[in-house]
Structure 1
Amino acid sequence: MQTTVLSFENLHNHGELFANLFRARKQSFIVEKRWDLPEALDMEYDQYDTPASRWIAIHDEVGQVYAGIRLTPTTARCGIYSYMIRDAQRGLLSSLSADLLYEEAPVDPYCWECTRVFVLHSTPQMIRRRVHAYMVEAMVKSARELGATQLIAITPANWPRWYGRCGLTAKGIGPVMYIDDGDYQCVQIELASKLH
């Protein structure tokens, strides 16, 4: 199993992996979860897949993707868009409530947003724990290398149970909301203690 952090600068070094990640996102979010999201060429994408973002792929040696994560700086700008949580709060996304945060969404070079987190249902059960461990390790390491001391994310509402097991320190920063297929909540993940 391998972890690769993709960017617009390095995607040419990784063959089909970038496209495979977007195909896996389609499988996870459009096929499995039945979310109404944009797609083209058998890939899921949105307005936040810009050169400002980074994508983490957990995959095998031939590029079969098991899981993925997108990281976007909270300082990102592309036309009228910034990042998903902030744009939802600003009323730009009809699929998410504008009341998803208790306070104003941050715009901070040390805070990055974590979205499009998934593990494919087809990922073999015997490697799922290892996949989750690789995801957390890669997310924390990549975010720290990008200068982040915090991440914000929309995550399933049962996050306190799961995050603790993964060694993450997090707190809820918005109310629990029903979105598409379940209860979700915005959280802030602290990375300052993960410097080593």
Structure 2
Amino acid sequence: MEVTTLSYENLHNHGELFANMFRARHRSFILQNKWDLPQANGMEFDQYDTPASRWVAVHEGGQVLAGIRLTPTTHRCGIYSYMIRDAQMGLLASIPPTLLYEDAPVADHIWESSRVFVSDLVPANLRLRVQLQLRHEMVIAARNVGATSVLGLIPENSRRLGRRVGLDCEPAGPIMDIDGVDCVCVAINMSAKLH
């Protein structure tokens, strides 16, 4: 099992891995979760998949087992910045604008984590190992871009998993029902992880 952080600067070194990440997201978010998201050629993508982002992929034999997208909170592309901020500003109808207790941050040291998934093809006896690898590489990727904090919108029950894999996920907003799932914005403090 390998873990790779992808960026537009290193895609040429990883063959089909980038496309396979979007194919795995399509399987997880569109086929399994039944989310109405942009798609083409069996790949899921959105307006936040830009050259400013990074993608962490856990993979084996060309198959992507899990992934996370990291986006700087300072990035802008047209009217969009990052998913949580755009939701708060009313640009995303599928996410309530009341998802944060405070204004969405815009700072070089804060990145957003989104599109987190573990493939349904990962057997139960390997899921924790895959999740540990994914979170570990997320911390490394965040450190490499200078992030001391990561903001994410996650299922509320995933906070326990965060603690289990060594991440402190502090609520940054209320628990909300999104498509029948209790979700919450969390702030993950990376400063303790930077050593």
Alignment TM-score, normalising by the size of structure 2: 0.98
Q: Which amino acid aligns with 2:57?
A: A
Number of the residue aligned with 1:41: 41
- Residue 169 (structure 1) shift: 1.6
> Which stretch shows the higher mean deviation, 120-129 or 6-15?
120-129
In structure 2, list runs of 5 or more residues that go unmatched. none
Number of the residue aligned with 1:59: 59
Number of the residue aligned with 1:28: 28
Q: 2: distance between equivalents of 1:79 and 1:99?
A: 23
- Residue 149 (structure 1) shift: 0.1
In structure 1, list runs of 5 or more residues that go unmatched. none
Q: 1:181 to 1:65 in 2, by over 3 A?
A: farther
- Residue 88 (structure 1) shift: 0.3
Residue 96 of structure 2 is aligned to residue 109 of structure 1? no
Q: 2: distance between equivalents of 1:16 and 1:85?
A: 29
Q: 1:163-182 residue pairs with structure 2 within 5 A?
A: 163-182=162-181
Number of the residue aligned with 2:12: 12
Q: 2: distance between equivalents of 1:80 and 1:192?
A: 31
Q: 1: distance between equivalents of 2:50 and 2:159?
A: 30
Q: 2: distance between equivalents of 1:6 and 1:139?
A: 11
Q: CA RMSD in A?
A: 0.8
Number of the residue aligned with 1:189: 188
How big is each residue's C-alpha offset from its partner over 1:11-49, in whole Å with a ceiling of 9 and x where there is no partner? Answer: 111010000000000000000111111100100000000
Number of the residue aligned with 1:3: 3
How big is each residue's C-alpha offset from its partner over 1:89-146, in whole Å with a ceiling of 9 and x where there is no partner? Answer: 0000011111100100000000000000000111122211110110110011110111
Q: 1: distance between equivalents of 2:22 and 2:63?
A: 12
Q: 2: distance between equivalents of 1:164 and 1:6?
A: 25
Q: 2: distance between equivalents of 1:162 and 1:95?
A: 25
Q: Which amino acid aligns with 2:173?
A: G
Q: Identical aligned pairs, as a percentage?
A: 58
Q: Is residue 154–residue 187 contact of structure 1 (8 Å, CA) maintained in 2? A: yes
Q: 2: distance between equivalents of 1:176 and 1:68?
A: 24
Q: Which amino acid aligns with 1:63?
A: G
Q: 1: distance between equivalents of 2:133 and 2:161?
A: 15
Q: Which amino acid aligns with 2:17?
A: L
> Which stretch shows the higher mean deviation, 78-87 or 168-177?
168-177
Residue 112 of structure 2 is aligned to residue 130 of structure 1? no
How big is each residue's C-alpha offset from its partner over 1:158-189, in whole Å with a ceiling of 9 and x where there is no partner? Answer: 23322211111221011101111411000000
Q: 2: distance between equivalents of 1:149 and 1:161?
A: 21
- Off by >6 Å, runs of 4+ in structure 1: none
Q: 2: distance between equivalents of 1:178 and 1:30?
A: 19
Partner-residue secondary structure (3-state), 1:160: helix
Q: 2: distance between equivalents of 1:24 and 1:160?
A: 23
Q: Which amino acid aligns with 2:58?
A: I
Q: Is residue 33–residue 181 contact of structure 1 (8 Å, CA) maintained in 2? A: no
Number of the residue aligned with 1:118: 117
